[in-house]
Chains A and B, each alone.
Chain A
Amino acid sequence: MLIAVILTLAVGTYAFRLSGVVLRDRLALPDGVNRLLPMAAAALLAALAVTAALTEAGAFAGFARPSGVLVGAVLAWRRAPFIAVVVAAAATAALLRLLGVP
Chain B
Amino acid sequence: MRTAGRTATPASTPALLRDVGAIGVAIVAIGASFGAVAVAAGLPVVATIAMSALLYAGGAQFMAVGLIAAGSPVAAVFAGLLLNARHLPFGLALGDVLGRRWRDRLLGSHLMTDEATAFALAQPDPAGRRRAFWLAGTVLFLAWNLGTLAGVLLASRVGDPLRLGLDAAFPAGLLALLLPALREPQTRRVALVGAAVAVLVTPLLPAGLPVLLALSGLAVLLLPRRHRERPC
Contact = CB atoms under 8 A, between A and B. Distances in A.
Interface of A: 1-10, 12-14, 16-25, 35-55, 57-59, 61, 64-69, 71-73, 75-77, 79-83, 85-95, 97-98
A90 B174 contact: no
Nearest to B105: A21
Contact of A92 (B106, B168, B178): B168
Q: Is the interface of B mostly helix, strand, loop or mixed?
A: helix
B158 interface: no
B149 interface: no
B60 A9 contact: yes
12 contacts: A6-B55, A12-B84, A14-B110, A16-B91, A23-B92, A43-B214, A45-B114, A50-B198, A52-B174, A53-B172, A82-B173, A97-B162
B195 A46 contact: yes
Interface in B1-18: 1-3, 6, 18
B32 to A, nearest CB: 15
Interface of B: 1-3, 6, 18-19, 22-23, 26, 43-44, 47, 50-51, 54-57, 60, 64, 68, 73, 76-77, 80-81, 84-96, 98, 105-106, 108-110, 112, 114, 117-118, 121, 162-179, 181-182, 186-187, 190-199, 202-203, 207, 210-215, 217-218, 221, 231
A98 B160 CA distance: 13
Contacts of B213: 47
Contacts of A85: 1, 172-173, 176
The 8 closest A-B pairs by CB, nearest first: A20-B91, A72-B172, A68-B168, A93-B165, A43-B194, A47-B214, A89-B172, A94-B165
Contact of B168 (A9, A42, A69): A69
B92 A69 contact: no
Name the residue in B26, B195, B196, B213 with the highest tally of chain A Cβ atoms < 10 Å from its Cβ. Answer: B195
